[in-house]
Structures are given as C-alpha cells and as structure tokens.
Amino acid sequence: MSTTPAEAEAMRRALVLAATPGVPLGPNPRVGCVILAPDGTRVGEGHHRGAGTPHAEVAALADAGERARGATAVVTLEPCRHTGRTGPCTEALLAAGVRRVVHAEPDPTAEAAGGAAALAAAGVEVEGGLLAGEAYALNDAWHFGLQHGRPFVRWKFATTLDGRSAAADGTSRWVSSRPARLDTHRLRGQADVMMVGSSTVAVDDPALTVRDADERPLAHQPLRVVVGRRDLPAERDVFDSTAETVQLRTHDLDAVLADLFARGRRSVFLEGGPTLAAAFVRAGLVDEVVTYVAPMLLGGGRSAVGDLGITTIAEALHLRITDITTLGEDEETNVRITMTATGAA
C-alpha cells in the first residue's frame, strides 16, 4: 500500500488543525484528523482540544456523520486503543465504518500504542509514516516530557557583544532590536510557561505576555510563573488579568519543574535574570539557549548570566550551535543564535 496525493494534502491539513492556537502542549499530544470520502474530498475534520475533550478522530467523525462510512481517516498520531477519560479511537473508527486509516507517527506510549494493529486485525487498511517527521516536531515538547518526566526548558536572553544584558546604571532598553523582540514573542507563543525570578519582577516589572506587532496581548497566553520566596506587590504587571500567574516560593528547581509537569505544562520559556538563569544552567536543566546578540559594546554593567561556578577554561560549558539568523538591519540588527548543550537530548 502507499498514500495518495489527497491523503498527503489531508495530513498537512491535519497538522494545521493539531496546531490550532490555544491547544495545550500537554499532558496529551496535539492531534488533528481529516476524513476523506472515497473520491478524496474532505467530509470531516477535527482536532484534540486538551485533556478530557474528544480525541481528534472522534471530533472528525462527528463532523463527517454518515459520510464517514467507507471513508479514509487521516490522523497525525496512531489512533489510541485504550480507555481513559474518553473511549478508544479505534472503536470509534470501527463503529463509524471507516475503510482506511492513514497516520503519521506511531503512538509512543505503552497504554495507547497498538491501535494500528488492532484496526488492521479488524480488516481496516492501515498505512503509517506519512509526514511522520512533521508530526513528531509538532509534539516535540510532549515527546521530551515522556522521555525526561519534566518540561523542556528554553533559556532566552539578549546581550551585547561583550556579554552585557544591561549598562552600569541598570538600563537595558533596548539591547534587543524590534525585530528581535517580535521574534521573542513568536518563541514565547510556542511555550506554555513564561518564567522569571522574583527579583526580575521586583526590579523590571515585566508583563510576561505574548503580544503582536502592535504590543497587544494575544488571546492565548502561557502560564506566567515567578520563582522565588520574595514577597511582591500585587500591582505588578505579572499579576494582572491578562494571563494566569503562579508564584512558586522555592529555590528547588527540580521541584519547580515537577510542579509544572504535574500541571500538564510541557515547555518553559525562561526569561529570568542572571541569577535564575545561572541556577538553571548549574543544575543542568537548560535544554536550549536562544540569545539575541546586539552589535554594541558596553564595557561594563550587568552580565547576561550569573556565577556558574566555573573557575578554569577547562571547565567551560560547551554549547552546540544549531541555528544562526540575522534579524533586522542597520542599528536594528540583532543576531539570533540557537544552541543546545553538548550531548543534550
């Protein structure tokens, strides 16, 4: 068996559905599904909206109604065969009379895997692997959580060429250019947690929201997390009604990530100051580093990261560059460098 152009197009549409803004990154995977009639036309579509809601296949079947009989279901993840807060998708597909199922990636969880085999055993044509790489990338934070039992941590900071995040008088606007700030909001939108330390809230009063080019907050916002025991004024911007905020009054970073994982959060965007950033780096809990480098020199001021406990060059933490992109031009230029720790998963 092989897939058809119509099925490939349907899978691309299913990936778009799965990535619908506002769909949580966890604790369940993001999944989209499209139902194709025998002539290749779309007769139904749906996506999973989060834990406890109908799975993508069930939503798409409901959209298709009787047109699902004899149809093909194109889904970004292998249909599940287990009963959780909702029933097995395999049974829903069989009951609807679906003739063929095309899925992207296999389900990696022990409790849900095996759906493809169960469908095939019931006489349904099954084809797997269509756009599997794209489907995996869609749920990279979810996959990371399955492997590591904690959220993925991306640390972002802006710096001058000489490694300063602020001048000697504390001013830092604007080390990052406008194009870099817009790019930062794009990355913020890919996370489900925005994190800073309590000192950053006290000194800088950040809003920690995802905003558009006109500085308007988007409808769907990550959870704002403040780490630290420091008491903070209730009028700080991070405590407004734009997004949900929690303060985790501990310096135990493993406990912080465990708390967030238990809340179903799978991707942390760390924008804390040099102290919190250094703590995460020392603990080995930074999975990716994104820095925006400005073509300017300060010669003094606040370092972008605090003391890492490194006293000799032989102990230096080596990072692997995965991407270099120039944003903007002239005095609005920043260079975005994306890195992972050597040997990081």
Per-residue pLDDT, 342: 58
Question: What is the C-alpha separation between 80 and 101, in angstroms, rounded?
Answer: 12
Question: What is the C-alpha separation between 335 and 259, in angstroms, rounded?
Answer: 34
The mean predicted confidence, pLDDT, of the chain is 94
Mind listing the domains of the chain with CATH numbers?
5-138 (3.40.140.10), 150-341 (3.40.430.10)
Q: Report whether 241 belongs to an annotated binding site.
A: no
| pLDDT confidence band for 275 (50 / 70 / 90) | very high
Nearest one of 201, 182, 175 to 292, comparing CA atoms: 175
Q: Report whether 148 belongs to an annotated binding site.
A: no
pLDDT > 60? residue 343 = no
| pLDDT confidence band for 82 (50 / 70 / 90) | confident
Per-residue pLDDT, 1: 62
| Residue 344 tokens, joined | 């990081």
Q: How long is the chain?
A: 345
Q: Report whether 325 belongs to an annotated binding site.
A: no
Sheet strands side by side (includes 334-341): 245-248, 223-227, 193-197, 267-270, 152-160, 288-294, 334-341, 319-327
Per-residue pLDDT, 92: 97
pLDDT > 80? residue 205 = yes
Count other C-beta atoms under 10 Å from residue 83's C-beta: 10
Please give the helix or strand (H or E) that residue 58 lies within, else none.
helix 56-64
Nearest one of 54, 50, 41 to 20, comparing CA atoms: 50
Question: What is the C-alpha separation between 99 and 102, in angstroms, rounded?
Answer: 10
Is 57 catalytic? The answer is yes
Q: Where are the beta strands (DSSP E) in the chain?
A: 32-36, 42-47, 72-77, 100-105, 125-128, 152-160, 164-166, 193-197, 223-227, 245-248, 267-270, 288-294, 302-303, 319-327, 334-341
For the stretch 128-187, pLDDT in tens is 999 999 999 999 999 999 999 999 999 999 999 999 998 988 787 788 999 999 999 999
Is the pTM higher than 0.75? The answer reads yes
Q: Which of 7, 45, 57, 105 is catalytic?
A: 57
Q: Report whether 79 belongs to an annotated binding site.
A: no
For the stretch 35-69, pLDDT in tens is 999 999 999 999 999 989 999 999 999 999 999 99
Please give the helix or strand (H or E) that residue 117 lies within, else none.
helix 115-121
Per-residue pLDDT, 236: 96
| Residue 145 tokens, joined | 């959580």
Burial 251-262 (b: 16+ CB within 10 A, else e): eebeebbeebbe
Nearest one of 254, 252, 259 to 225, comparing CA atoms: 259
Question: What is the C-alpha separation between 6 and 128, in angstroms, rounded?
Answer: 15
Which pairs from 322-331 meet CB under 8 Å and 24+ separation? 327/177, 327/179, 327/180, 327/183, 327/292, 328/177, 328/178, 328/179, 328/180, 331/177
Q: Report whether 200 belongs to an annotated binding site.
A: yes
| pLDDT confidence band for 330 (50 / 70 / 90) | confident
Q: Report whether 211 belongs to an annotated binding site.
A: yes
CA distances from residue 341 to 13, 137, 159, 306 in whole angstroms, order as listed: 34, 19, 19, 17
Per-residue pLDDT, 112: 86
Q: Report whether 155 belongs to an annotated binding site.
A: no
CA 146 vs. chain centroid, Å, equals 14
Q: Report whether 166 belongs to an annotated binding site.
A: no
Per-residue pLDDT, 344: 45
CA 18 vs. chain centroid, Å, equals 13
